[in-house]
Chain A
C-alpha cells in the first residue's frame, strides 16, 4: 500500500517542481526581457504613432516586416525614410503595392478623403518615431506665390527635373521598365515629399541642395505647367516630338493620302 502512494506522491512532487521551475523561468523572463528591448534611448511611441503602428501591422507589415525593418526580396526597411516618404507613397496610392513589378505606379489610394490624410499622418508619425528622416512642412499649399517664383522655379526645374520628367512634366522612360511618372496628378505636398525623400529611383534633393524656398518655386512652376492649357488644345500626353510626330504620320498623312485618293477616284 505504501509504495504506490509514495510513487504517486513522487509524481505529484515532480509535477509541482516542474510547474514551479517553469513559472520561475517565465516570471524571470517576463520581468527582465522587456527591459532588454525597451532600452533607455528608445522612448515609447506616442499615441499617434501607436495608432500608426496598428495600421502598419494591418496593411504594410507583410512586405516591410515587423517594426518596418524590411523583408528581403519583398520590401525595403523603412527605418530613416521619414514621414515625407510615407506621405508621398501612401497619398499617391503607390503603397500599399498591388503587386511586385518594375516600379510602383500611382493608383487610387487605399483610403479616401480625410481618412487617407489621417492614416497617412499616423503612419508617417510611426515611421518618423521609429527612425527619423525628412519631414514635410505643414500646410497643403506649398507653392511659392511671389513675383518671379515661376521664372526661378522654371530654371530650377529645367536644371534638376527635366532630364527625367521632361520639360512639360509629362515624364519619360528609364531603364528596364521603370519610368519617371507624369506630374499631372501630383499635389504640392507630393512634389515636395518626392524631392525630399527621393522615392524609388528618383535622386534625393535635400534642403541643402534645393532650399525649401527653391522647392516652393519648383512646385509653383510645376503647378502652373499643369494648369496651363496646351497650345492647340491637345497635348498628346505632353511627351513632345515623339507622340506629335507619330500623330502627324499616322493621322495627318493618312488622311491626306486618302483624301487625295478620294479626289482622284471621283474624277
Chain B
C-alpha cells in the first residue's frame, strides 16, 4: 500500500451515542467498527428482495456441498469400519483401503470448504470497509510514558541500591537457568569413549574373539570360503562374533570382492602405495588374499554403505552422494565428496578354509570425527 492514503470520509464521522434507544443494530455495529478504526463505507445485501429464484439456487448449491460432505464423511466411516485391512501381495481390494480413506475424507473437507466459501461470497451482504492505516512508530508521548513506567518498576524494587538482593537473585537463578539448558541439551551429549573406543576399532578386532582372528561370516553367521564368491562377485561379510551382523556392530560390515586375475594383479601392484596395506616380510601378500580384497562398507564421507560394486570398471559407489572408489587402487576416492580411501581389512584363509581377518582395520572406518588421528 502506498503512503498516500486518504482518510476515509471524515465528513460522515459523527459522534454516536450507543445508549441511544433509536439506534439501529447496524448503526451500533458500524459505530463499533468505527471505534476500532474501521469505516464501513459500503454495505448492501446480495439479494435485496428475499426469496428470489436466484437466491434459492445459491442456497441449494451450498446445501448440496454440505450434504456431499455428510455423504463422504459417512463413506469414510463405513469404509474404515467395514473394510478389513490386511496386507496381501498382489493387486487386490486391500490396496484401495488407504486411497479410499484419503479420497473420502478429502472430498468431505472440500465440501465444507466450498459450502462456506460460496455462502460468504454469494449470500453474505457485500461490504467495503476501510481501516485507517497505522503510519510510522508509536506516538512520542506513548513512548515517553512507556519508558518511564519500565524504569519506575525497576526503581521500585530497589535492586540497584540493594546489592545483597541483587547478588542473591543472580546466584539463585543461575542454576535454574542452567537446568533449563541441561534438560534439553544433556540428553544429546554422550561420551564417545565410554566402553572402550568404539570409533577406533570394529568387530574385527581380535579382542572381541578372545584374541583369535575374527572370521568373516554371512548375515546368518555361516563362514565364507574362497570358492563361495565367483570371479567378478562380491559378498557382504560381518564379523563372526556374537551380534556381529546387528546394529551393535554397525560400523563393521565389509565387502569381500573376488577380482579377475588381471584386475587383481593391478590391485596387488598398487598395494605398496599404502604402507598399511603393503606387503611386508611377514605377509608377502599384503592385505589381500590371492585375488580377494575386503574393504569397509562404510563410506568415508558420511557413513552410507558404499556397496554398489561395478565389476567391470572396478569401482565401488556410494549411493548417497555418488562417491566412487577405485577397488584396484586401495579404494582411492576418484569421484564425489569422499576424500579418504575405504579402509582395507587384512584377510587370510585359515586352516579350515574360511576367511578370517588377520587384524582389525589399520585406521578408523567411516566418516571423520573430532578425535580421528
Could you list which residues of chain A lie within 8 angstroms of chain B, going by C-beta atoms?
Answer: 150, 155, 159-160, 163-164, 172-176, 178, 180, 198, 200-206, 208-209, 224, 227-229, 231-233, 263, 266-267
Contact = CB atoms under 8 A, between A and B. Distances in A.
Given A200-B312, A203-B309, A209-B228, A159 B219 contact: yes
Given A150-B89, A203-B232, A163 B311 contact: no
Interface string B60-85: 00000000000000000000000000
Nearest to B306: A163
A209 B230 contact: yes
- Most B C-beta atoms less than 10 A away, residue of A203, A206, A263, A267: A203
Contact of B89 (A163, A227, A233, A263): A227
A122 B212 CA distance: 53
A68 B309 CA distance: 27
Contacts of A263: 117
A175 B310 contact: yes
Contacts of B227: 208
Contacts of B335: 175
- Most A C-beta atoms less than 10 A away, residue of B89, B315, B322, B335: B89
Contacts of B307: 163
Given A163-B319, A229-B91, 7 more contacts: A163-B305, A178-B310, A198-B230, A198-B233, A204-B232, A232-B99, A266-B121
Contacts of A164: 308
Contact of A174 (B92, B230, B232, B308): B308
- Most A C-beta atoms less than 10 A away, residue of B98, B230, B307, B315: B230
B187 interface: no
The 8 closest A-B pairs by CB, nearest first: A206-B230, A201-B310, A204-B230, A204-B233, A229-B95, A208-B228, A229-B91, A204-B232
B280 to A, nearest CB: 30
Interface in B272-300: none
Contacts of A232: 98-99
A53 to B, nearest CB: 26
A206 B313 contact: no
Contact of B90 (A178, A200, A204, A229): A229
A203 B335 CA distance: 21
At the interface, is chain B mostly helix, strand, loop or mixed?
Answer: mixed
Contacts of B324: 175
Interface in B92-112: 92, 95, 98-99
A225 B315 CA distance: 29
B311 A203 contact: yes
B231 interface: yes
B229 interface: yes
Nearest to A207: B230
A209 B317 contact: no
Given A201-B312, A203-B309, A263-B117, A228 B230 contact: no
A127 to B, nearest CB: 17
B234 interface: yes
A267 B124 CA distance: 13
Contacts of A203: 232-234, 309, 311
A86 to B, nearest CB: 17
A149 B34 CA distance: 76
Contact of A175 (B219, B225, B229, B313): B313
A36 B285 CA distance: 41
13 contacts: A160-B236, A174-B310, A175-B310, A175-B335, A198-B230, A203-B311, A204-B232, A204-B233, A204-B311, A209-B228, A227-B91, A228-B90, A228-B91
Contacts of B309: 203
B130 interface: no
Given A172-B319, A174-B317, A209-B235, A202 B99 contact: no
B328 to A, nearest CB: 14
A172 B308 CA distance: 10
B233 A209 contact: yes
Contacts of A201: 310-313
Given A150-B89, A163-B308, A228-B90, A198 B95 contact: no
Contacts of A205: 230, 233
B230 A159 contact: no
